[in-house]
Chains A and B, each alone.
Chain A
Amino acid sequence: MSSVKSRSRNLIGVFMAVTFLQAGAEEPAAATSLYSVVDGYKVDSATMKGFRAWRAGACDRCHGANQEGMVGPSLINSLKVLSKEEFVKTVTEGRLEKGMVAFKTSKIVMDNMDNLYAYLKGRSDGAITRAKVEELKP
């Protein structure tokens, strides 16, 4: 959705900490205070940990492998409206009546809450263009 991409470029302009361009890259690199991504799928190590927590929680079973929504809502949309605090509360305590697990006893999810938020925000922003990410080589 082109409107999302142009919005993320505006966000980059506002939040930009470090940007760099690579010759031949399809996407310009994006960096925010939350995440860094190159080519749309190479991310910093913290965001990579967030991806691993996403996998460990088996979140795709309800939210879709691309966060697009299945029986659970689209996280592409949800991360646009939830505050960070609301996100943390929802993941920690679940939404039991709607079928969402309370992840408070999952060490990998709780230890990587900020990283998970960064990964999902990157997906929602459209800066991370695919679900499966790889770690940026140093």
Chain B
Amino acid sequence: MRNLAVFLVRHYFILFFLLLEILSIYFLVQRNYFQHTSAVSAANWFTGSIYQARTDFTEYLDLKEQNKSLADKLALELSMKNTSYFMYNTAGVLHSDTTYKQRYEYLAAEVIDNTVTRRNNYIILNRGSKQGVVVDQGVVCAEGVVGIVREVSDNFCVVMSLLHSDSKISASLKKDGSFGTLVWDGNDYRTATLKDLPVTPIRKGDSLVSSGLGDAFPSGVPVGVINSFQINAENKTYIVEVKLATDYRKLRHAFIVKNLLRDEINDLKKKAGVDNGQ
């Protein structure tokens, strides 16, 4: 026993070293096991809080950068929102058929500006020459006729609303096809006047549609219904007060009507020397 004590005292250093070294190797070999013990999670808590402190500190160093990157991200997000999108490529649906050649193509557009209370009202749509919009094309909406394109820029167009002193749209009675000219007297955005309608049996509530005369609108697009009518004594025609199908105040989406045969018609008119003032 005394010998053992002497041995321990004499070799305490190497024994102590071996103890610590074996302990270290034990930790090393068992590290997978120890990772789940409280000793190591305490270590993780220790270094984790130090790393957190470092992050808290270094965060301040690049706050400016962070702000900029966040602002950039926000700008990116905002610009990717639907509201900031401008639908650039909305090719209309072309229907191919050997018997029927498609004459009208519709281009969906959004109303970005609209007035109804002025004497001459205009609508601005988010479609322009890059999407194939040209002057004098018609504009319709789900309910009915809207107007005629008057000015075109690259990506926008100005539509002369039906609520305009220069607006003259050919409208016909749905039931017999007799037609007149629809104008707006500037009073109420819900009603317009149909002039020069031949005297035929009509009633209140009869439907009016676009006649298809002229190349702006296809025939059959709703215009409105007859509200009241009276006879113009001068030329024996009706003057009809029309309740418009389109609610201009609620207009949000519209379709620009492309007349695919427009050039052919215009060439023909030119050849025949016809100028109907359009």
Say whether A associates with B.
no
* Residues on A facing B (Cβ under 8 Å): none
Chain B residues in the interface with A (C-beta under 8 A): none
